[in-house]
C-alpha cells in the first residue's frame, strides 16, 4: 500500500481518488469543534498561527495523552465524528489549506466542494481504533490552546509514521463513497418498509 509523505507529497494528494487506501507519514494537527472556531477567529482577526497548517494533515481527533518526565505521550487517538465540524470546515479549509482531512463518518457537500477547490481529500480512519492510531504516532511536537480548550479540544501537533490504513472517501474530482452507500440505502429502505407493512397486516 502507498505511503503519502507530508509535506513532500502535497501535490500528489490531488491525484488520490475515492476508494484508494494509503498510509500517511509526516505531521498532522488535531482540531475538533472548539479548535476550528478558535483558529478561524484568529485568522479573521489577522493573527498568525503558531504552526503551518497547510503543510500538515488535519486530524479530527481528541487524543488521550499523558505527560511524564520525558514529555507528552499519546495513548489512544482514533478519529472523532467529522460531521460535527461540517459547519466550519469549508471556511477552515479555504483559510488554512490542509490537503488531507482525516476523520470518520464522512462530511457534507460544503467540505467536498472546499476540498475540490484546494485539491484535497477526506480520508477515513476507522472510528474507535485509538490504540492502533497511537502506535503510529512517533512523537508529540507541540500543543496549543491546551489551557483554554482542555486535552480533547486542544490543537496537538503529532508526527506520524505509516498512519493508517486510511481510505479516501471524498476526492477533489467529485468522487464520494458515502453517496454510493446513500443510494444503496435508499433503494433498500423501500423494500424493508414494504416487508414491515406486509407483516403488520
- Closest to another protein by CB, 10 or 125: 125
Mask for 42-81, x = binds another protein (CB under 8 A): -------------------xxxx-x--------xxxx-xx
Q: Does 1 bind another protein (CB under 8 A)?
A: no
Residues numbered 128 to 187 that lie near another protein (CB under 8 A) are 128-135, 150-152, 165, 167, 169, 177-178, 180-182, 184-185
Number of residues that bind another protein (CB under 8 A): 52
Nearer to another protein, 41 or 52 (CB): 41
Q: Contact region for another protein (CB under 8 A) — 8-16, 38-46, 98-106, 112-120?
A: 98-106
Closest-CA residue to 170 (of 4, 33, 30, 16): 16
- C-alpha pair distances (Å), 117 with each of 95, 101, 111, 121, 151: 12, 14, 10, 11, 32
Q: Which of 105, 108, 110, 142 binds another protein (CB under 8 A)?
A: 105
- Residue 26: name the closest of 180, 127, 200, 166 by CA: 166
Q: DSSP 3-state assignment of 164?
A: strand
User: For residues 130 and 172, which CB has a smaller minimum distance to another protein in the complex?
Assistant: 130
Active site includes 36? yes
| Residue from 36, 43, 45, 73 carrying the catalytic annotation | 36
**Calpha distance 48→164 (Å, rounded):** 31
SS (H, E, C) 77-146: CCCCEHHHHCCCHHHHHHHHCCCEEEEECCCCHHHHHHHHHHCCEEEECCCCCHHHHHHCEEEEEEEECH
C-alpha cell at 97: 489549506
Dist. CA 89–CA 115, nearest whole Å: 10
Stretch that binds another protein, among 38-46, 113-121, 125-133, 137-145 (CB under 8 A): 125-133
Cell 499519546 sits on residue: 74
Indicate which residues carry an active-site annotation. Answer: 36
Binding footprint of another protein on the chain (CB under 8 A): 19, 21, 34, 61-64, 66, 75-78, 80-81, 83, 104-106, 124, 126-135, 150-152, 165, 167, 169, 177-178, 180-182, 184-185, 188-189, 191-193, 195-197, 199-200
Amino acid at each position: 500500500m502507498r505511503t503519502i509523505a507530508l509535506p513532500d507529497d502535497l501535490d500528489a494528494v490531488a491525484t488520490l481518488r475515492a476508494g484508494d487506501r494509503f498510509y500517511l507519514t509526516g505531521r498532522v494537527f488535531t482540531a475538533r469543534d472548539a479548535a476550528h472556531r478558535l483558529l478561524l477567529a484568529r485568522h479573521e482577526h489577522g493573527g498568525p498561527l503558531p504552526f503551518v497548517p497547510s503543510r500538515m494533515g488535519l486530524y479530527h481527533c481528541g487524543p488521550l495523552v499523558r505527560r511524564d518526565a520525558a514529555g507528552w505521550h499519546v495513548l489512544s487517538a482514533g478519529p472523532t465524528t467529522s460531521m460535527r465540524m461540517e459547519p466550519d470546515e469549508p471556511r477552515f479549509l479555504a483559510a488554512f489549506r490542509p490537503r488531507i482531512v482525516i476523520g470518520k463518518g464522512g462530511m457534507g457537500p460544503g467540505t467536498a466542494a472546499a476540498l475540490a477547490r484546494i485539491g484535497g481529500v477526506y480520508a477515513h480512519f476507522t472510528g474507535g481504533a485509538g490504540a492502533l492510531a497511537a502506535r503510529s504516532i512517533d512523537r508529540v511536537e507541540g500543543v496549543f490552546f491546551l489551557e483554554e480548550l482542555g486535552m480533547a479540544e486542544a490543537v496537538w501537533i503529532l508526527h506520524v509514521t505509516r498512519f493508517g490504513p486510511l481510505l479516501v472517501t471524498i476526492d477533489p474530482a467529485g468522487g464520494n463513497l458515502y453517496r454510493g452507500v446513500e443510494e444503496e440505502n435508499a433503494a433498500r429502505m423501500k423494500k424493508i418498509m414494504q416487508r414491515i407493512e406486509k407483516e403488520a397486516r
